[in-house]
Amino acid sequence: MSRIKSAVGALERRLAGQAWFFHAYTFPYRALLRRELRLAAVQPDDVLLNIGCGSAPFSAVLAAQFSGARVIAVDMDPRAVTGARSLVAGLGLSSRIEVVLADAANDPLPPASVALVALQAAPKDDIWQNLRHSLSESGNRGRALFRIPRAGLESEYGHFTPGTAVRGEVYHRMPTFERTILCAVRADRSVCKVA
């Protein structure tokens, strides 16, 4: 694992349980999450899979709070799963956010209608292929949001080649990623952009 990824993982594991850290850490992500949820038109009747939730599952928490959707947060690291479960319980969100141990590139994933894939989750092409099974069970609604690394950081965070599945994108000003793309399971030519 690269140095940036392991440093982020260690920071999240160490401080995730502390409320001040969680609120400070989530601050830059709040507007970003709203843009992503709007791009994928996430509704309260969606089931959202958050791939790579980490020990501080702020994307899962904000997605549940902002959209009202039920969230299943997934991580392949047992330490991250333990930390995420404890943080979700501490926030009183255990009935709305389930935390599951799985490698999203290889293990069967629970059925869902929409997925949000963390920047650090990899390998992205394998995750997308695997996700298509769990998302296709929701018929025409299946879609996934992928955070895409800035140019030059692909070797750190993983390349993604979604081909014709891309349906839209939103832009951010984060140091490691500037874009989230929306991919659809179903073939459809419409493309949207959200400012």
Ligand X SMILES: C[S@@+](CC[C@H](N)C(=O)[O-])C[C@H]1O[C@@H](n2cnc3c(N)ncnc32)[C@H](O)[C@@H]1O
Query: CB–CB of 145/169 below 8 Å?
Result: no
Which residue number, 121 or 182, has a Cβ lying nearer to ligand X? 121
How many residues lie near ligand X (CB under 6 A)? 24
Fill in the per-residue mask, 116 to 135: x = in contact with ligand X (CB under 6 A), - = not in contact: --x-xxx----x--------
Q: Which residues from 146-185 bind ligand X, rule CB under 6 A?
A: none
Residue 182 C-beta-side C-alpha neighbours within 13 Å: 28
Measured from the CB of residue 102, what is the shortest distance to ligand X in angstroms? 6
**Is 8 a binder of ligand X (CB under 6 A)?**
yes
DSSP string, 39-66: HTT--TT-EEEEE---SS-HHHHHHHHH
Single residue of 39, 40, 77, 128 touching ligand X by CB under 6 A = 77
DSSP state of 29: G
State in Å, rounded, how far the first CA of the chain is from the last one.
Answer: 34
**Is 75 a binder of ligand X (CB under 6 A)?**
yes
Rounded to 5 degrees, what are φ and ψ at 148? -105, 125
Binding site for ligand X (CB under 6 A): 8-9, 12, 51-54, 56-59, 74-77, 80, 103-105, 118, 120-122, 127
